[in-house]
Chains A and B, each alone.
Chain A
Amino acid sequence: MSHLESSTPIVRCEVDFTKRTEYHEGLEAIRAAHKLLAEATFTPSLPDKGYTNRTLYVNVGTREIMEKPVTRQMKDIFLGGRGFGLWYLWNAVTPATRWNDPENEIIIGPGPVSGTTQYAGSGKSLVVTLSPQTDIPVDSNVGGYFGPLLKFSGFDALELQGKADQDVILFIDGRKGVIRIEAAPMEPVDSHVLAEVLTRMYAENDEDRVNISVVSTGAGAEHSLIGMLNFSWWDPRRGCVRLKQAGRGGIGTVFRDKRIRALVCRGPVVKGGLNNPVDPETIAKTGIKFHKEMRTNDDSQCKMRRNGTAHIVEIMDAYDLLPTHNFQYGSHPDTHKIASPVWQARCTQETVDGCWYGCSMACAKGADGLVLKTGPYKGHMVTVDGPEYENAAGLGSNGGVFDPDYLLELNFYCDTYGVCTITWGTLTAFVMECYQRGILNLERTGGLDLTWGNAEADLEMMHQMARGEGFGLIAGQGIHKMKAIFAEKGWGDPQLMADIGMECKGLEYSQYMSKESLAQQGGYALTNKGPQHDEAWLIFMDMVNKQLPTFEDKAEALYYFPLFRTWFGLNGFCKLPWNDVVPSDNATTSEPAKVPEHVQNYVDVFNATTGLKIDKDELIRQSAKVYNFQRIFNIRMGKGLRSFDIPPYRSVGPVTREEYASRSERYDKQMLEEIGVDPAGKSMDEKIAITREYRMKRYNSLVDAVYLRRGWTPNGVPTLARIQELGLDVFPEVVEIVKNHGG
């Protein structure tokens, strides 16, 4: 995309970092209150060809600490990262297990390529658990240093199980080979404080801080189902701890339910080549080639290095795709107040903003010098991670908040309270629309005036949740449960709430308005974990570039891209360097949407790390094994069938009269040309009904085509033939589930 002018002036944010509020007083007292509950030793080891060939199991309830070998089968079928997470979770739970049962696990796995310093975006970890929101496995990818440092300490994954009887910290010292479970009675709760305190506590000196990473959550996760995890790293230029989030599905809620206060890993000094790849020369050459591309192309294509992902706010608005007022509309006259020039001024430039070494895309922007106006940290000066696009849209336009300082404050409190920004943005938009339509009112919200754009009420709702009181507690249950609560109280029409509550499978939508992209509707609702843009983001390919004209074209895209993107999560890659900045000649290739040169980069870096010899087709097959396994896992847990792949109608078409009216010319034209019905003389309600029938029929035809392409039955069950083709028939329970559901 080249929608921003390269001549955009550089606006610099002048901030005196020395005035940032710091939180290391009383550190010795906090440390002194620690009590050792369990300790184990291990021999630190570096990976060989990307794998350490062992994982770490910790039960915080029984205090068992154990090493497990990584089997050949695990590598062949599950590869790493998300794959290892799903495999361990499958073995840990039964169909009856719920998120807050002790046997539920949180698995953190970086993947074989994770930790590579030469190729951009190679520092990701994948976190897997049974979600409190969806009751099925959720996977969330996250930057920060914990995953790579865990692997360079000696473990390909960390499995957390059980429930502690008091707040604990798990400390993994990858230098000394010591693992400790410590009681942590005096630790602060919220992440921006806790991560700073623990980084200083566990670093042996100032230089050692960069070798420490902390995983934590905050007060919001304690009283909601939408908690997330923060993965930290020490930013030496800013002199503070930075945070990246494993946001989706309520993983932070599971973390606190286990009474884990934090995980701390102290890894070795990072150097190039710690993965011990078989061919470091290829990795170095591929990485340097990418760095040069970033130097040459970023400024004219995306400006990721200046704005991060928030550079697309105005682009989404221009294409009528920016979710506004709970996904009713796709643009707003005030969008310029939260567009990229604002963030360019607000985020500190001239510094390095990668969330792992060697990421020349450097999108982890930092907004320094925010002085908070509300909440327990009122008056503090803090650094906020972002905003990313999802935050700018979710916390901003979707709820009608166009004040950048309030948007940053919402972003900050989501982060430090340990709450998913995407989820909070979407559920707040739902609540605000309910308020607008009389489903909620001042009495029902306990005095919160949740009109569009009321950021102070939005923040107060979040503070209430963090305090465990008021309407905030209800909001923190997420949209799926709120709809049931509101219906039970008789507050609104259940059908209307089902239509406008933007969740599928229990997970809130991320921030794209999909009404005019059938492929994106499928990209959201046909996901394994719930609607999330990291699986299939096809809006531009489908709607803007018109590259997917037929059902078969869309089905092919909904086959390939979810599998391609799954592969990132198996290996520890970030998706963004794949297609946000592309080679100069990419448009002339046969499949520009796939960015063929970058696909080959991934094949090359993977082969050079592991010594395997895959090609771009085997890459897809590797992903298909895990993707289909996850689908069957969902079926095992009682979901995963066609009836769970139905989107709320708001994501498909206009629910209300005002929505139809906002684009009546477009909808009338579509009715005449696509549906073959003359809208003349028809009432708006009739036109809404005709449009709805057509669009849902079209959506169901898409589902048929996608299931067929994926090798699934019309009910969404992977067929036995597909399972055998992928080698998943070695697991008897998988075969049994498939057979029992007509596969």
Chain B
Amino acid sequence: MRQLRIDMTKCNYGRDCNHECEADCATKVFKVDDPALAALHIRDHGDGTGHAILCDQCGDCVVVCPAEALKRNKLGVVMINKKLCVGCYMCIGFCEKEAFERNPDWVEPYKCTACGICVKACPHAALEIVEVPEPAARII
């Protein structure tokens, strides 16, 4: 299963990952014009530091989604089927990593798809794509 990871000892909060995601992933993949709504979110700590919020692809959201709109693709990445999404936001409420973003202008939330564009953008090699075993589904 594909997972995006970050080494915080290398991250200097330069936000290149976020900017590239805004420019590429958010705009092209999710068709979102608002650059603030990048799929790879940055949590600003308010003191000049912050951290990227990464989706672990843990699958908790897949379990709770009542519309079967969230499913893993063949790489193990959790993807949203916008056609099926009913906008209930249970995925947002149950995601402990807060990896989902909600655009007030449309009902479907969105999340990181581990596409890797941010990995290439990081000048410090703080981000990497790894392969990990898929976790067993759990009761949430």
Pair B93/A291 contact, Cβ less than 8 Å: yes
Contact residues in B for A738 (Cβ distance below 8 Å) = none
Contact residues in A for B107 (Cβ distance below 8 Å) = 271-273
Is there a chain A Cβ closer than 8 Å to B86's Cβ? yes
Is there a chain A Cβ closer than 8 Å to B88's Cβ? yes
Q: Known: A271-B107, A273-B87, A292-B93. Is A360-B137 also a contact (CB below 8 A)?
A: no
Q: Known: A117-B87, A271-B107, A305-B139. Is A358-B94 also a contact (CB below 8 A)?
A: no
Is there a chain B Cβ closer than 8 Å to A288's Cβ? yes
Contact residues in B for A294 (Cβ distance below 8 Å) = 93-94
Q: Known: A284-B102, A291-B94, A295-B93. Is A358-B65 also a contact (CB below 8 A)?
A: no
Is there a chain B Cβ closer than 8 Å to A350's Cβ? yes
Pair B87/A350 contact, Cβ less than 8 Å: no
Report A27-68 CB contacts with B as 1/0, cut-off 8 Å.
Answer: 000000000000000000000000000000000000000000
Report A276-308 CB contacts with B as 1/0, cut-off 8 Å.
Answer: 000011001001111110110000000001100
Is there a chain B Cβ closer than 8 Å to A118's Cβ? yes
Pair A295/B140 contact, Cβ less than 8 Å: yes
Is there a chain B Cβ closer than 8 Å to A666's Cβ? no
Contact residues in B for A271 (Cβ distance below 8 Å) = 85-87, 107
Is there a chain B Cβ closer than 8 Å to A153's Cβ? no
Report A244-274 CB contacts with B as 1/0, cut-off 8 Å.
Answer: 0000000000000000000000000011110
Pair A350/B88 contact, Cβ less than 8 Å: no
Pair A350/B137 contact, Cβ less than 8 Å: yes
B125 CB to closest chain A CB, in angstroms? Answer: 34
Q: Known: A271-B107, A295-B94. Is A237-B88 also a contact (CB below 8 A)?
A: no
Is there a chain B Cβ closer than 8 Å to A507's Cβ? no
B138 CB to closest chain A CB, in angstroms? Answer: 7
Is there a chain B Cβ closer than 8 Å to A349's Cβ? yes
Pair A357/B66 contact, Cβ less than 8 Å: yes
Chain A 136-164 interface residues, beta-carbon cutoff 8 Å to B:
none
Q: Give the complex CA separation of A357 and B107 in angstroms.
A: 14
Q: Nearest B residue to A293 by beta-carbon distance?
A: B93
Out of A272, A291, A305, A351, name the residue touching B86 (CB < 8 Å): A272
Q: Nearest A residue to B68 by beta-carbon distance?
A: A236
Pair A354/B66 contact, Cβ less than 8 Å: yes
Q: Known: A10-B139, A272-B88, A273-B107. Is A357-B93 also a contact (CB below 8 A)?
A: no
Is there a chain B Cβ closer than 8 Å to A352's Cβ? yes
Q: Give the complex CA separation of A280 and B104 in angstroms.
A: 8
Contact residues in A for B88 (Cβ distance below 8 Å) = 117-118, 272, 287, 357-358
Q: Give the complex CA separation of A182 and B47 in angstroms.
A: 69
Chain A 498-529 interface residues, beta-carbon cutoff 8 Å to B:
none
Report B70-109 CB contacts with A as 1/0, cut-off 8 Å.
Answer: 0000000000000001111110111010000010100100
Contact residues in A for B94 (Cβ distance below 8 Å) = 291-292, 294-295, 360
Contact residues in A for B85 (Cβ distance below 8 Å) = 271-272
Q: Give the complex CA separation of A272 and B65 in angstroms.
A: 14
Pair B64/A288 contact, Cβ less than 8 Å: no
Q: Known: A273-B107, A360-B64. Is A290-B137 also a contact (CB below 8 A)?
A: no
- Give 19 A-B pairs besides A271-B85, A306-B139 with Cβ atoms closer than 8 angstroms: A10-B139, A118-B88, A236-B68, A271-B107, A272-B107, A273-B87, A287-B89, A287-B93, A291-B89, A291-B90, A292-B93, A295-B96, A295-B140, A352-B63, A352-B65, A352-B66, A358-B66, A360-B64, A360-B94
Give the top 6 A-B pairs by smallest Cβ distance, nearest first: A291-B93, A272-B87, A358-B88, A272-B107, A117-B88, A352-B66
Q: Could you tell me which A residues sit within 8 Å of B by CB distance?
A: 10, 117-118, 236-237, 270-273, 280-281, 284, 287-292, 294-295, 305-306, 349-352, 354, 357-360
Q: Could you tell me which B residues sit within 8 Å of A by CB distance?
A: 63-68, 85-90, 92-94, 96, 102, 104, 107, 137-140
- Sample 18 A-B pairs with CB under 8 A, ordered by A number: A118-B87, A271-B86, A271-B107, A272-B88, A272-B107, A273-B107, A280-B104, A284-B102, A287-B89, A288-B93, A291-B92, A351-B63, A354-B66, A357-B66, A357-B86, A358-B66, A358-B90, A360-B93
